Every structure is written in structure tokens, then in C-alpha cells.
Structure 1
Amino acid sequence: MATSYELKASVRDRVGKGAARALRREGLLPAVIYGDKQPPLPIAVPIKETTLTLHRGGFLTHVGTIDVDGKKHQVIAKDYQLDPVRDDMVHVDFLRVGKGTTLTVEVPVHFLNEDKCPGIKKGAVLNIVRHTVELIVPANDIPEALEIDLANAQPGDALKISNVNLPASAQPTITDRDFTIATIAAPAGMKSEADSADGEGEGE
């Protein structure tokens, strides 16, 4: 399971814009825990710790624990709102993670050995089509990232979901085709030279 986090929280007894502003003045962030066939639970979490958790990365893919007045809840962040001017967090929605919970999450793609890629060394460029891939996966088996090795990628290669070693328990939400995640795109000059060389070969 991806590295988890823990946040302390307290139950909110008031909701609404005025109450939310008052909380933020106290260094607290309004949030809600919902799902798992239980009623929504309005809570307040510390702005500083929650913002640090967000900036560490993987906020929407890591399963975390929220300690609400001594009772611990397993959750995953499903959405958060930012202030349009200051870019500060203003609200977070957390989904309860129960036993056997399966989630749909966006998992980032990491490219390995870009500095060793023969296609890039020949002048091609890595063209990323998808920075993330949406997976259906058990909450306790969410991968940190999907990895694609570029060590043998040549100009013109398409790197597809079939090139990724997915966890056995995970599957992409797109199942009707072997979709492209990135390509090793040859620049126009390289294509012209290749076409010219092909033409000379045919003439001989």
C-alpha cells in the first residue's frame, strides 16, 4: 500500500461559509468524511499539516488515517478545493475506506532511463500522452506510480498500457484497447532522412 499519513481532527458542530471562515482563522480546514454506508461526518483538520500532506504528493492516491477525537478512520482524499486567489486549501472531501474497498484512482506514470533512451539520443523526443492512468484497484494495493522503462525505446515507438507491469489486482478503466501512454516522437528532419534513405535503397 502507498505510504499513509495521519491527521488529527475534531468534529465540526457548525457548517456553512461563516463557520468555515471562522475555522480557517483558527488555522483549521473544514472537511468531511463520507461513504462506506455511513452518514457524512463534518470535521476540521489542521491547515498546516494537511497542506504539507498535499505537497508531499500522492494526496489523492494514498490511504490515510484521520483521528477524530480519538476514533480513527481509514480514508482516501477524493477532492479538495483551493482559494482561487491565494491558492490555499479551503475544503477537503475524504472517502471512508472499509474492508475490501475498491477505488478508482489516477496513478502517476514515471519514465525510467530517459538519459539512456537510444531514441532520445538519436534526436527524438519523449511525447507524454498521459501523465496519469486511471485504475480500478483495491484500496490496500494502490501503486505509488506506474513505471515505463525507456532503455530500449527507439524513434517512432509507442509506449502503451501493455508495456506497464500492473499489480495483479489492478486494471485500467479503459479496457477496450491497448491505449498509448507516450511516444518517442522523431523530429521532422529525422523522418525526412529516413524516407530519403528508403528511397535510395529502392532505387538500387
Structure 2
Amino acid sequence: MSEVKLAGSVRTEFGKGAARAIRRDSLVPAVLYGHGSDPVHLTLPAHELGLALRTPNVLLSLDIDGTHELAIPKAVQRDAIKGFLIHVDLLLVKKGEKVTVEVPVQAEGELAAGGNLLQHELNTLSVEAEATHLPEAVTVSVEGLEAGASVLAKDIALPSGVTLVTDADAVVLQVLAAQAEEAPAEAEAEGAEA
């Protein structure tokens, strides 16, 4: 788990116009909440925050006008066309605290011969882990799996200290048999009969 340090400041102006002005200054409006405290409205540097958010479940060490807080991203809003950050919701965490997050599932290895297809039923797993030791992803070996085989959530090995929140019997990956393509001559003959 990587920890990224960011310097931010409390913002006092709100609304669409203020948010646009903040983004023009290469900053991103954000809200920090959690632990029953009042939400804190922040501005964070857009470039550094964008780089940090490339890592799933990144731990952010925030320096907000002299106070230090730990947070994880809870919701990220991006522009639909250009992809720049519009707004970020951050969840306040403490060392030793357990949090529930979504972790990407990555498959590795080669399927058994035959042109079979691997279908992801779930792209992420919901897990609970200590806020300072969140896994970036879980890896599943699909080496040699035959058509019809499936991998359940309970079959995935999780790092120590991480517990599964997703239903244990949920299908995560499934191997589908390759479908043979119909020959063009047969398809034309069937079309002529109709």
C-alpha cells in the first residue's frame, strides 16, 4: 500500500462558479469526512492528486493548513469527455482502523488449450482491511482451467489481515467454451431457405 503526501487548504467559497475557478487554478475541490466530525471542504493540487488516484485504494497523507490527516478516496468524479478531476470525496481514517473497500481482481496464467474465454463476473471484491495496509489488487491464477470451470470468491487467497466481505459463494471468474463459427456457405443456404 502506498502512501502519498498532499498539501491542501480549506476552501470557503462554494457553488458551481467557485468550483470552476478552483479548477482553473489547477486545483480540485474535495470534501473530507468521517469519524462523526463535520465535513471539511478542501482544495487539493490537481496533478498530484490525479497521479495518486492511479493507485487503487491509495492512502493519502494530507497536510491541511498545518494539520495532518489520513484519508482514502471514497468517490471520484471526472469529466466524462476530457477525464479531468471534478470533485473528490475523501474518507478520514486512522492507523489501525479497519475499513471496507473494493479491490480489483486480476487474472494471471493461461487457460487450457482450446480457445476458451475467461469471463469476469466480478471485477472487484469487497474486502475489509486495516486502513494503512489496503491491498492494491488481488491476483487469481487461471492456469490450466478448462471450459465450465469457475472461481468463487472464497477460493481467492487474500493477503494476511484482509477479510472477504463479498458473498463467499459469488462467482468471480468463469471459463466459457469457445463457440465455433458457422461456415459462410451454411449461413447463406439457411438464408435462402427462409
The TM-score normalised by the length of structure 2 is: 0.84
CA contact (8 A) 1:156 1:185 kept: yes
| Displacement after TM superposition at 1:75 (Å) | 0.3
User: Which residue, out of 103, 108, 112, partners 1:112?
Assistant: 108
| Displacement after TM superposition at 1:137 (Å) | 2.3
CA contact (8 A) 2:107 2:140 kept: yes
Equivalent AA in structure 1 for residue 177 of structure 2: A
Distance 2:17 2:41 in 1: 15
Question: Normalized per residue, which structure has more helix?
Answer: 1
| Displacement after TM superposition at 1:174 (Å) | 3.0
SS of corresponding position for 1:49: helix
User: Which residue, out of 44, 48, 60, partners 1:64?
Assistant: 60
2:162 aligned residue: 170
| Displacement after TM superposition at 1:134 (Å) | 1.3
Q: How many residues align?
A: 180
Equivalent AA in structure 1 for residue 41 of structure 2: P
1:51 aligned residue: 50
Alignment of 1:1-204 (within 5 A): 2-54=1-53, 56-58=54-56, 61-114=57-110, 117=111, 119=112, 121-175=113-167, 177-189=168-180
| Displacement after TM superposition at 1:136 (Å) | 2.3
Distance 1:141 1:53 in 2: 16
Unaligned runs of 5+ in 2: 181-194
Distance 2:124 2:18 in 1: 36
| Displacement after TM superposition at 1:85 (Å) | 4.2
Unaligned runs of 5+ in 1: 190-204
CA contact (8 A) 2:6 2:61 kept: yes
The Cα offsets for residues 75-106 of structure 1, whole Å up to 9 and x where unpaired, read as 00101112234332111111110243222211
CA RMSD of aligned residues (A): 1.8
CA contact (8 A) 1:34 1:95 kept: yes
CA contact (8 A) 1:11 1:69 kept: yes
| Displacement after TM superposition at 1:33 (Å) | 0.9
Distance of aligned partners of 1:85 and 1:122 in 2 relative to their CA distance in 1, 3 Å threshold: closer
| Displacement after TM superposition at 1:57 (Å) | 3.0
Percent of residue pairs identical: 32
Equivalent AA in structure 2 for residue 80 of structure 1: V
The Cα offsets for residues 16-59 of structure 1, whole Å up to 9 and x where unpaired, read as 222212211211111111112222111111112112222x331x
CA contact (8 A) 1:36 1:98 kept: no
